Chains A and B, each alone.
Chain A
């Protein structure tokens, strides 16, 4: 065995390698995004995921091996979610004034997300399992996976659909909102959070703290509401 091969075999087994790759590739994607004046199509999550998938395929590395290292970044999602309370608290005054619009828009948006995704899949002849897997796609990953599993969907497919929804929302969301002439930061952030959960929220924080705070709120509320609505709506439509 050559010394380079031995070095690779050693490195490939430590969590350090894939954690470093994750952070370094993301840092490069973030730099590129900034250089391109934060153009939405150059979304750092999209680029980092594409580059890392290519690296894993080229080196024949399994997702399990990769995740052994990358899980340390993944773990921070928990504390980061808790941290959303801080910008939310800063927007409390505005949030109180907007309690009714927020509640109504949340309910309308959440039902739209669930019913439209299910109806389109059904109309295009998707299997029952696929339909059940896509229903909770606008909720945050752990909620969506739990809901999908409870109904007989495929939790791992749900996870992929959730991530794809988030990336789509981060890439195209602001353009859609521009086209709809929605200018208010609270409304823009809230819509991003309802439609595209945490990845939409990450995108909203790139725009401003206020947009991010409302997106984070929407993500939390829509997660909870989706957990209640999906089983109810699935029952209603006889799924």
Chain B
């Protein structure tokens, strides 16, 4: 498990370095994800311990968003001023985005 954790951190580190070196607007971890995917494709299989660790981390992905979510506390005033337009924009845009994405997938795959 430790080797797998080192692997994930290592890919993130490489991702950060690539993002900075090439001045990419994409965050390091996303580049790390793509590089790890590429590695798994070349190797032809994912090692068992890595599968177990990934499963464990992703099962509790939601926990990791809590600290950033609590950040809302610092913006109550700003939200109060424009909450009607922001709420409408977020809700309607979410529904439209879900509908357009899912229905295009459905239309193009025929499922």
Contact = CB atoms under 8 A, between A and B. Distances in A.
A81 B33 contact: yes
Given A73-B63, A163-B65, A49 B37 contact: no
A48 B70 CA distance: 9
B7 to A, nearest CB: 8
Size range of the chain B interface in the assembly: 35 or more
Interface of B: 5, 8-9, 11-12, 15, 25-30, 32-34, 36-37, 40-41, 46, 50-51, 53-55, 57-75, 78-79, 82, 84-86, 88-106, 108-109, 111
Contacts of A79: 5, 8-9, 12, 29, 57
A86 to B, nearest CB: 4
A228 B12 CA distance: 22
Contact of B41 (A92, A101, A157, A196): A92
A54 to B, nearest CB: 10
Interface in A79-116: 79-90, 92, 98, 100-102, 104-106, 108-109, 112-113, 116
Contacts of A223: 26-27, 30
B73 A85 contact: no
Interface string A138-160: 10111100110000001011011
**In terms of DSSP, what is the predominant structure of the interface of chain B?**
helix
B38 to A, nearest CB: 8
B12 A191 contact: no
Given A80-B64, A88-B37, A199-B62, 13 more contacts: A23-B63, A26-B66, A53-B70, A63-B73, A63-B74, A80-B58, A83-B33, A86-B46, A124-B85, A124-B89, A164-B72, A167-B69, A223-B30
Interface in A144-190: 146-147, 154, 156-157, 159-161, 163-170, 172-173, 176-177, 180, 182-184, 186-188, 190
A100 B46 CA distance: 26
Contacts of B11: 82, 85
B86 A134 contact: yes
**In terms of DSSP, what is the predominant structure of the interface of chain A?**
helix
Nearest to B105: A187
B96 to A, nearest CB: 5
A116 B98 CA distance: 12
